[in-house]
């Protein structure tokens, strides 16, 4: 039975009138969040053709779809491994047999076993987020907990002597970049720092004990803006050549979510 407009609540009407929701539906993406990753990819060239990508908190699968398209033609190879505590069905559109899904709690992953199966990842994505509790400070801390989990999976234990006087500039109502106008990505190689061949990894211990992210790899994590986020970003500086904040245009205006990027693992 069709639902009458009068039966749709305010939240439902907001979703139906949302341009990114409509665009996602028209282009075969499972969620509007696909355009967040598209914008990050367009700006930072996170995923090179043939990369191995780990997608933490992959439900409902929109980032799996975008990541798979970024791998380029199947002849280039590559892997997208999605992990979520929920059961996730492999998307029918924009995905091929290079996409795999593992139902597991990211906080309890056996890093060395996962590394032995994948030989590490060129990109680690985390769109993990708890359901908000209505308490701003508690929600921020919970988002930091999940981001810390993603970071430690990527680079191992996070340890740094923080300088209390050091702060990254806070992001307040940033002007969003223009959203991508196409779901297609050019199959061109990203900048040199984005990827490194197995033979170029030097003498570092490559068994997962130092994290799943390969040298020169990229990390993306979702956070809620608030106390502790700047200190967390400062910790990442010892592991990456560049640390950046991003608030994609597809982010809802009322949302406090923002993405923290570690570019080019040292």
Query: Is 131 a domain residue?
Result: yes
Number of domains in the chain: 1
Distance CA 85, CA 218 (A): 23
Range of the domain at 40: 31-161+207-265
Query: Is 182 a domain residue?
Result: no
Tell me the whole-structure pTM to 2 decimals: 0.78
pLDDT at residue number 194:
41
84 and 90 Cβ atoms separated by less than 8 Å: no
Distance CA 234, CA 230 (A): 6
Residue of 88 and 254 predicted with greater confidence: 88
Query: Is 257 a domain residue?
Result: yes
Helices 62-70/34-44 angle, 10° precision: 30
Query: Is 109 a domain residue?
Result: yes
Mean pLDDT across 90-107:
96
> Facing residues of 219 across strands?
124, 262
The CA-atom distances, in angstroms, between 176 and each of 146, 191, 208, 245, 257 are 25, 23, 36, 12, 13
pLDDT at residue number 202:
38
Mean pLDDT across 12-21:
69
Instruction: State the CATH number of the domain containing residue 154.
Output: 3.40.50.150
pLDDT at residue number 17:
64
pLDDT at residue number 196:
41
Query: Is 62 a domain residue?
Result: yes
pLDDT at residue number 81:
98
Query: Is 9 a domain residue?
Result: no
Mean pLDDT across 14-19:
68
Query: Is 150 a domain residue?
Result: yes
pLDDT at residue number 209:
77
pLDDT at residue number 91:
96
Mean pLDDT across 216-235:
95
DSSP sequence for 79-96: EEEEEESS--PPPSSS--
Query: Is 166 a domain residue?
Result: no
């Amino acid at each position: 039975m069709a639902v009458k407009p009068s039966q749709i609540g305010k939240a439902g009407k907001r979703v139906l009138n949302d341009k990114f929701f409509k665009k996602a539906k028209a282009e075969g993406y499972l969620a509007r969040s696909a355009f967040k990753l598209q914008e990050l990819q367009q700006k930072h060239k996170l995923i090179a053709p043939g990369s191995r990508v780990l997608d933490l908190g992959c439900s409902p699968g929109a980032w799996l779809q975008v990541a798979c398209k970024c791998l380029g033609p199947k002849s280039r190879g590559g892997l997208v491994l999605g992990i979520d505590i929920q059961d996730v069905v492999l998307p029918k559109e924009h995905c091929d047999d290079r996409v795999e899904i593992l139902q597991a709690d990211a906080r309890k992953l056996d890093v060395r076993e996962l590394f032995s199966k994948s030989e590490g990842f060129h990109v680690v994505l985390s769109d993990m987020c708890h359901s908000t509790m209505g308490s701003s400070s508690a929600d921020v801390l919970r988002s930091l907990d999940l981001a810390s989990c993603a970071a430690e999976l990527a680079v191992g234990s996070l340890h740094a002597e923080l300088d209390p006087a050091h702060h990254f500039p806070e992001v307040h109502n940033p002007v969003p970049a223009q959203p991508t106008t196409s779901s297609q990505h050019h199959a061109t190689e990203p900048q040199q720092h984005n990827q490194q061949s197995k033979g170029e990894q030097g003498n570092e211990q490559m068994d997962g004990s130092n994290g799943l992210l390969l040298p020169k790899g990229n990390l993306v994590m979702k956070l809620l803006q608030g106390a502790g986020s700047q200190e967390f970003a400062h910790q990442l500086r010892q592991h990456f050549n560049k640390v950046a904040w991003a608030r994609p245009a597809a982010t809802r205006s009322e949302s406090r979510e923002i993405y923290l990027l570690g570019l080019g693992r040292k």
